[in-house]
Amino acid sequence: MRPSTRREFVRGPAGRIECAVDAPHGSPRGTALIAHPHPLYGGTLDNKVVQTLARAFVELGYQAWRPNFRGVGATEGVHDEGRGELDDLRAVVEHVQAQKLVLAGFSFGAALQAQLSKKVTIERLVLVGVAVTSFDVPEVARDSLVIHGENDDTVPLAAVLDWARPQELPLIIVPGADHFFHRKLHVLRGIVESNWR
């Protein structure tokens, strides 16, 4: 992603977890843990949406951690349908021991981060293209930043609205964006940066 990206390995329940770590200039204001899309459909820590989120958080002064899920890259273990992956995200949280922690995720990763937000203390949650049609996504905090593409054909906007409506949870909809925010990554980055307190 950037020349300063370093690789770190965290001990997880199924073996080592490969992470890409990007640091801001100066002392970080906190840590952003960013989860990638479904590993069985090509999701990796190098996914463009995940990289865009990492860039936004580094710009905002956070250290950004992007782990690879089980069986992806140099991360050990095999895909566990979200259960083991959730344990692995928690292992990374325990490793970084952040005073201020932001959880962010895309698609499958967003669904897992919503679950993890119930188990750890966080500053804020950012969900992009959250996979509400494939996974049990719990209610989230009212200040969560939920971003979705208008033309998402992987996770239809209507399904996300159905999930958000009972929570009275606002969404930010990117007009013309598909699931992967093709040609809209700059818009996604701008939304995250401008919506931060």
Q: Write the pLDDT tens digit of every residue in 67-95.
A: 999 999 999 999 999 999 999 999 999 99
Beta pairing, strands 15-22 & 62-67: antiparallel
Nearest 5°: phi and psi at 162? Answer: -65, -35
Is the pLDDT at 1 greater than 80, yes or no? no
Among residues of the chain, what percentage have pLDDT more than 70?
98
Q: Which two tokens stand for residue 61?
A: 């002064």
Domains of the chain: residue spans and CATH:
6-194 (3.40.50.1820)
> What pLDDT score was predicted for residue 4?
79
Q: Residues 91-113: what's their mean pLDDT?
A: 97
> What pLDDT score was predicted for residue 18?
98
CA distance 103 to 35: 8
* Banded model confidence at residue 2, pLDDT cuts 50, 70, 90: low
**Whether the Cβ atoms of residue 24 and residue 63 lie closer than 8 Å to each other:** yes
Q: Residues 144-151: what's their mean pLDDT?
A: 98
Q: Write the pLDDT tens digit of every residue in 40-75.
A: 999 999 999 999 999 999 999 999 999 999 999 999
Q: Residues 106-132: what's their mean pLDDT?
A: 98
Is the pLDDT at 22 greater than 80, yes or no? yes
CA distance 34 to 57: 10
Instruction: Enter the DSSP assignment of 69.
Output: P
> What pLDDT score was predicted for residue 3?
54
Among residues of the chain, what percentage have pLDDT more than 90?
97
> What pLDDT score was predicted for residue 88?
98
